[in-house]
A and B are shown apart, each in its own frame.
Chain A
């Protein structure tokens, strides 16, 4: 587990920075990173950590910004086997589930 990223999450929560945390929770086939990998996405689009880079990471980042707007966590299903994925150069060919949760300071948290 990435201590630096966890420390970053704590820092963001303490400073009340709006951000979303993306965690890979399931991987099938071949994917760039394994379950448990995390990435922190700030409201301004900055990222900490990496979920493998490339198009998949860009898609997760985009989705995280949406989750931040909606304020509700979700499981984002990313299919790297689809034709579009191949067109865009996502060559790993696996399927990835990513849990994305907003880390906003609402009351207690």
Chain B
């Protein structure tokens, strides 16, 4: 694969959130036909390969690439192939975390700023045009002005989505939580005092929501660091999200 074609495919995989493994040949020992340091290949589950060296790589990558994806970390791998050894630098291409902020108020704005600082993609939903605005969210990747339920029906929620429920009132918080509670999100957090959160949970329980599903909800939201201002609360929320993202808990 030519360098330009490789980087274009890599970018497409990153943007379309397709899992893949980027392989760079960093060393070749012996005579391996069609294989030189600086060659790049993009491995995708079930993909097909063309060009010189493809057959060799297809077999070799098929064995190690799934492990790289599962391990989520780049690694060097020296493989014995016909004619010699090749050393590959293998990097997992994983969907990037996206933080979905429901509510464009003071806390939502600070969560967006903190999330961008940490390098996450940010989407914001609010039903009020004054709040779902570029002026308040200059760095957000997506701003959606629509009723929460409507927006949530259309937005894709996947295992890379982190949902932060910080609307202007607990009636909307409840609506949002109910809309996303069965979604395969990486994280769902909801703001509110213990008492309010308890009220919302009891209501959902009474509606027949599985207690185990409810136990997944991070509410009250954020790590308990005594945060008081919107910015402090945003940092405690991001800290919790980072912990879930990096440690899975």
A residues near B (Cβ < 8 Å) are 1, 3, 6-7, 9-10, 13-14, 23, 25-26, 35-36, 72-75, 99, 101-103, 108-109
Contact among A9, A10, A75 with B26 in the assembled complex (CB-CB below 8 Å) = A75
**Interface residue from B7, B26, B73, B93 paired with A99 (Cβ < 8 Å):** B26
Contact A10 B11 (CB under 8 A): yes
Nearest-neighbour CB distance to chain A for B50, whole angstroms, equals 13
Main secondary structure of the interface of B (DSSP, over half): mixed
Rounded to whole angstroms, the CA-CA distance of A103 and B69 in the bound complex is: 27
Are A75 and B91 in contact (CB-based, < 8 A)? no
CB distance from B23 to the nearest CB of A (A): 12
* B174 at the A interface (CB under 8 A): no
* Number of chain B interface residues as a range: 20 to 34
Residue of B nearest to A9 (CB): B7
Question: Within the complex, what minimum Cβ distance (angstroms) separates A48 from chain B?
Answer: 13
- A108 contacts across to B, CB distance below 8 A: 2
Residues A36 and B4 in contact, CB atoms below 8 Å apart: no
Complex: A74 Cα to B38 Cα, angstroms: 8
Q: In angstroms, how far is the closest chain B Cβ from the Cβ of A83?
A: 27
Between-chain CB contacts (< 8 Å), 10 pairs: A1-B14, A1-B91, A10-B7, A25-B24, A25-B76, A35-B89, A36-B91, A73-B37, A73-B38, A109-B4
CB of B207 within 8 Å of the partner chain: no
In the bound assembly, the distance between CA atoms of A25 and B38 in angstroms comes to: 13
Q: Give Cα distance in the complex from A26 to B90, angstroms.
A: 11
Q: CA A65 – CA B15 in complex, angstroms?
A: 31
A7 to B15, CA, bound (A): 11
Q: Are A23 and B11 touching (Cβ within 8 A)? A: no
Residues of B within 8 A of A26 (CB): 76
A23 to B7, CA, bound (A): 14
In the complex, A95 Cα to B180 Cα: how many Å?
46
Q: B10 an interface residue at 8 Å Cβ cutoff? A: yes
Residues of A within 8 A of B8 (CB): 10
Instruction: Tell me if B10 and A6 are in contact (CB < 8 A).
Output: yes
Contacting residue for A3 out of B5, B15, B22, B27, CB 8 A: B15
Which chain B residues lie closer than 8 Å to A25 at the CB level? 24, 26, 74, 76, 89
Measured between C-beta atoms, what is the minimum distance from A12 to chain B in Å? 10
Distance A101 CA – B5 CA, assembled complex (angstroms): 16
Q: Find B11's partner among A7, A36, A73, A101 (CB 8 Å cutoff).
A: A7
B37 and A35 form a contact (CB under 8 A): no
> Is B75 in contact with chain A by the CB < 8 A criterion?
yes
State whether B74 touches A36 (Cβ < 8 A): yes
Question: Does any Cβ of A come within 8 Å of B3's Cβ?
Answer: yes
Q: With A73-B37, A99-B26 in contact, do A1 and B93 touch (Cβ < 8 Å)?
A: yes
Listed residue (B8, B22, B38, B96) with the most chain A CB atoms within 10 angstroms of its CB = B38
Q: Which residues of B contact A36 (CB under 8 A)?
A: 74, 91
